[in-house]
Structure 1
């Protein structure tokens, strides 16, 4: 449905573009990467409202990108006259027949792109030009949003007053319940989409009748007494009656129940699951775009598994999904090929990941793929003992821990090296991989993964066969048996290689914590130097 998202000047996004997948989109990123802001911007452009309220009611100076505001103030200080900062959110849509009413070329695409779409623009209101000129004499970072206005239009340059029916959207935020009644604006939208017009009219008429019956029933006695008070100016009778205005429409007072319990009192995990199910029901073709924020919140592992099963089962070609998550399990289950890695004003998209690799990680939902994806730099090792020893080597070489240098040391835990390297290449991740030679020449071990290696960003480091098959004999060769026995406290009677192989983690901890010097195996030292400079 949405083929391109362009955001200019809104919150974290100075000038941002995203090309979504037609079906599933998984948004991941560190804290403040812009996942929630992206969904909020899409909802703004689709609904012309935020949380059920108009844009101008909610508009505040903090909506504007701080970098753009800073640049504006700097130019004003230099005596220039730059235009006041604006916000623009554009949604480019697929060229479907039902969307032709929105088709036009009123957008910022270069070259010109005539297609269906909508945009929301927030800009200075010319009617307040005198006030704006007065503010510009002493401008500051808090823009005068009172003098701004908003337009919501289609690419055909037609004003939108309500969301086009063909652009229905459901937003499910499992992080919090947004209203004291426990039924937020988005849920009311979803429920409304499941009711036919005739059903809505019948409910409205019935509710109006109930309110009228209150006037003739419980309020009748009170009104009889009020009529004798003579409180009005000209002695007209005063009475109480149920409010029949839209403020008390049935949508605002009728609330769903779950197993005879009000929706607001159900667990938040249950609430999220209900919202997702209602939004994604196959017969609910009215909902074209579904946005789910952090579905893992408030759910046990079993409940999350059930919920993801439901998402996968209900997903159809008629709906486009956007799912933000901090969960590796969610990422692995829904598919790495749908990943968008957000980093403030930039988005990386996996486009060349082999379907077999996607299935591989889906079968291993417990592996911490998200940690690998989000790390700035990665060192992949075969197991915990390699991880512990490498951190000591890195500190000896650079004088600080890997984490302090933004290097994440991650154990592959038996995963296929080629799959890990393919994923790192897909997200353009700097990575150093260390592995045992297992008695095979390093040159031969490089061949199966050669296409994923890059001498500047991704490299494989393997100890020489002559120095030993695994980490333990490599350490003995580099340091000498006597020195390692001293470090580990191993008597001459015990076989050093056998002890170190049997007590891998314990031996690695003793070596890492020892005040005695350690001579690193050459391949480990080379890996430490490579990743620091990558």
Structure 2
């Protein structure tokens, strides 16, 4: 198990530290928040590879944090001699007997910490000191990675050339299922983990013998004919034979089939689901770390439900999962308490969420908790009519809609206000929560959710009982019956309050589109002022 991740100088991350959950990590964040970069960094330090190729073969100047590179170049131009930027990724691992070979204190932890771990540094190669010095005389925004090298070591300061056997990782990117001859690098690795060494050897031998028989069957007549052509320097006969080198090994020629259809011709959703199931299979017992990028891609709602059930049932106790997602359904179903929220190069982690609240949202996987997780500021309202009306009043007050100012107005649609506030409090989100008084003293309503509120951070706003029990009479109180009847087109003989209560959404739409000036109820005005700041 990975207990801590440190990333310095890699792409979006200047100086990043994260202590992941022991079992499940659901990584969420806005666009360009660094979700894929985090997964990439973990895989890089675990395997020394990226996209199936060694890191040294794939070195790219764009891997380096742009801000650090710009600062480095600026220092050179000021006449300073700064150190070249580096990339440093450290994985701190759980102290287990089988990982003692990786155990040491050669890491950046302060105070000194001796534990198993991996360190991957991409740094200037001292053998190219002269070339690097010449480059510094005329620097550019792109670092000369040709003069860099990859230093992959354990915390015991031993150089690593191949991934330690105990740290097998399965990597599934369902956004783009790359296939070569029907099987991409990661799938070949996953399938290989399902074969015991004797089975692999037997298949390899049988494949080699099969290729050898080609010389005495299909190629025999051809070799007899071209053997009479002396095209070589010493008039030696030419013949054709099957390539027996490692690059033509059996695992590059064998391709899985799904219902008699080649894997590469299956739908992308099917391909991703198969790879995830193979990686998680408890019987394999090999993949200690499973990384899945956006499992919801290419899947219908029903197929996604099936896949999530499969993930829940197949995950072994020895496995640590890292899953990135843009799906509220995935988030709720697998558990809100596993969230790692990325923003501005940092991670927020839920440390205190009642198991009952987690279970509550698991039973309501369609509710958009992801909006709450990603929003900068939140206004919680009871229903869609409150949402529509509040947005109108907010724009009247401040000249812009809430979303234009980074404020997300979210309807709870009958959900428990306490559950939503607990989730927001766990992520320390600024929240203005509004609700009807329903004829109850606001002080009494506040008591049940007091522990999730925080002065100046999360506040509750409730309409005065004297002004009406729900939104509609509150609006009438502050604007007068005559104004509302004219705006809504309600005759003098009709019961205004009854019509507005019965046609809540239609009332909200007409208010939102009204050209006349309207006064918001006091509690909505106060909520808008609070969340606007």
* Distance apart, 1:74 and its partner CA: 1.7
Look up the match of 1:488.
Answer: 488
Look up the match of 1:362.
Answer: 362
* Distance apart, 1:230 and its partner CA: 1.7
Matched, 1:210 2:183: no
CA contact (8 A) 1:431 1:531 kept: yes
Indicate the RMSD between aligned Cα atoms, in angstroms. 0.9
Look up the match of 1:168.
Answer: 168
Look up the match of 1:81.
Answer: 81
CA contact (8 A) 1:14 1:65 kept: yes
Look up the match of 2:385.
Answer: 385
Matched residues in 1 for 2:415 and 2:78: separation?
A: 57
Secondary structure of 2:161's counterpart equals coil
Matched residues in 1 for 2:373 and 2:191: separation?
A: 37
CA contact (8 A) 2:281 2:316 kept: no
Matched residues in 2 for 1:181 and 1:343: separation?
A: 38
* Distance apart, 1:225 and its partner CA: 1.8
CA contact (8 A) 1:281 1:314 kept: yes
Matched residues in 2 for 1:109 and 1:500: separation?
A: 63
Instruction: List aligned pairs for 1:239-278, cutoff 5 A.
Output: 239-278=239-278
Matched residues in 1 for 2:182 and 2:410: separation?
A: 41
Secondary structure of 1:216's counterpart equals coil
Matched, 1:319 2:336: no
Look up the match of 2:406.
Answer: 406
Look up the match of 1:121.
Answer: 121
CA contact (8 A) 1:14 1:68 kept: yes
* Distance apart, 1:180 and its partner CA: 3.7
CA contact (8 A) 2:181 2:253 kept: no
Look up the match of 1:439.
Answer: 439
Question: After superposition, what is the alpha-carbon deviation per residue over 1:2-25, rounded to whole angstroms, capped at 9, x for unaligned?
Answer: 000111111111111111111111
Secondary structure of 1:4's counterpart equals strand
Instruction: List aligned pairs for 1:171-182, cutoff 5 A.
Output: 171-182=171-182
Look up the match of 2:140.
Answer: 140
Secondary structure of 1:136's counterpart equals helix
Instruction: List aligned pairs for 1:6-25, cutoff 5 A.
Output: 6-25=6-25
Matched, 1:225 2:229: no
Look up the match of 2:459.
Answer: 459
Matched residues in 2 for 1:381 and 1:440: separation?
A: 18
* Distance apart, 1:94 and its partner CA: 0.2
TM-score by length of 1: 0.99
Matched residues in 2 for 1:324 and 1:52: separation?
A: 20
Matched residues in 2 for 1:176 and 1:430: separation?
A: 36
CA contact (8 A) 1:32 1:344 kept: no
Look up the match of 1:108.
Answer: 108
Matched residues in 2 for 1:181 and 1:322: separation?
A: 28
Matched residues in 1 for 2:454 and 2:398: separation?
A: 23
Look up the match of 1:45.
Answer: 45
Look up the match of 1:185.
Answer: 185
Look up the match of 2:448.
Answer: 448
TM-score by length of 2: 0.99
Matched residues in 2 for 1:19 and 1:122: separation?
A: 23
Matched residues in 2 for 1:431 and 1:466: separation?
A: 25
Secondary structure of 2:425's counterpart equals helix
* Distance apart, 1:181 and its partner CA: 2.6
CA contact (8 A) 1:341 1:348 kept: yes
CA contact (8 A) 2:177 2:272 kept: no
CA contact (8 A) 1:177 1:183 kept: no
CA contact (8 A) 2:181 2:252 kept: no
Question: After superposition, what is the alpha-carbon deviation per residue over 1:140-162, rounded to whole angstroms, capped at 9, x for unaligned?
Answer: 11100111101111111111111
Structure 1 residues not aligned, in runs of 5+: none
Instruction: List aligned pairs for 1:325-344, cutoff 5 A.
Output: 325-344=325-344
CA contact (8 A) 1:433 1:461 kept: yes
CA contact (8 A) 2:439 2:469 kept: yes
**Structure 1 runs of 4+ off > 3 angstroms?**
none
Matched residues in 2 for 1:52 and 1:472: separation?
A: 61
Secondary structure of 2:219's counterpart equals helix
Look up the match of 1:517.
Answer: 517
Look up the match of 1:55.
Answer: 55
* Distance apart, 1:439 and its partner CA: 0.5
Matched residues in 1 for 2:111 and 2:58: separation?
A: 34
* Distance apart, 1:194 and its partner CA: 0.7
CA contact (8 A) 1:255 1:262 kept: yes
Question: After superposition, what is the alpha-carbon deviation per residue over 1:254-291, rounded to whole angstroms, capped at 9, x for unaligned?
Answer: 11111111110111111111111111111222211111
Number of aligned residue pairs: give it.
533
